[in-house]
Structure 1
Amino acid sequence: MNDLEKATQVFEALKAAEAQPTQLALPMLNGLVGLVQGSGEAPLEVEEARSAAFMAICEVGKALHRGQPADPLWAAAIGATERWMALTK
């Protein structure tokens, strides 16, 4: 699977998870870990975007796990993933 396919799958999963209650969204986010891990084979700009998406997704997960508001964090994670997608085209 190439970076564009991974980023697209992460984006779609984030949009689906955002609409779910916490108990369903958390496992969906945990399932993304393998897709957002870096291989170090992409250009630096792509790796940085991938890393930013990973960190933003982690922030959403932490907020959900702690029962904190996550609405602005979802937007940040989706935006970071969109940037990653754009750089892989």
Structure 2
Amino acid sequence: MSDSETAEKVFKALKQAEHAAPQDALPMLNALAGLIQGSGEQPLEVEDARAGAFLAICEVGKALHRGQPADGLYATAIDATERWLRLAR
């Protein structure tokens, strides 16, 4: 799967998780971790965007795990993933 396809898949799953109940969203987000791992074969700015998306998604997951609100964190994660998607194309 290309980096662009991976970013698109992560973006769609993130949007789906945003609208799911927290107990359903957390497993969805945990499943993304394997997809987001980089190979180091992309330009540095793409790898940086991927890492930013990963960290932002982890913050959402931590908030959900702790039972904290994640609305603002979802927005940050979606923005970071969109940036990765733009650069990966």
Q: Which secondary structure state, in structure 1, belongs to the residue aligned with residue 38 of structure 2? A: coil
Structure 1 runs of 4+ off > 2 angstroms? none
What is the 5 A alignment of 1:61-76?
61-76=61-76
Stretches of structure 2 that go unaligned for 5 or more consecutive residues are none
Per-residue CA shift, 1:6-32, capped at 9, x if unaligned? 000000000000000111000000110
Separation (CA, whole Å) in 1 of partners of 2:88 and 2:69 = 31
Pairing of 1:1-89 with structure 2 (within 5 A): 1-89=1-89
What amino acid maps onto 1:2 in structure 2?
S
- Please report the TM-score for the alignment, with normalisation by the length of structure 1: 0.99
C-alpha deviations, 1:13-69, integer Å up to 9, x for none? Answer: 000000001110000001101111011000000000000000000000000000111
Aligned partners of 2:33, 2:88: CA distance in 1, in Å?
18
Report the identity percentage: 69
Q: Distance in 1 between matches of 2:59 and 2:65?
A: 10
How many residues of Structure 1 are paired with residues of Structure 2 in the alignment? 89
TM-score, normalization by structure 2: 0.99
For the aligned residues, what is the CA RMSD?
0.4
Q: Aligned with 1:32: secondary structure?
A: helix
Could you tell me which runs of 5 or more consecutive residues in structure 1 were left unpaired when the two chains were aligned.
Answer: none
CA distance in structure 1 between the partners assigned to 2:44 and 2:52 by the alignment: 12
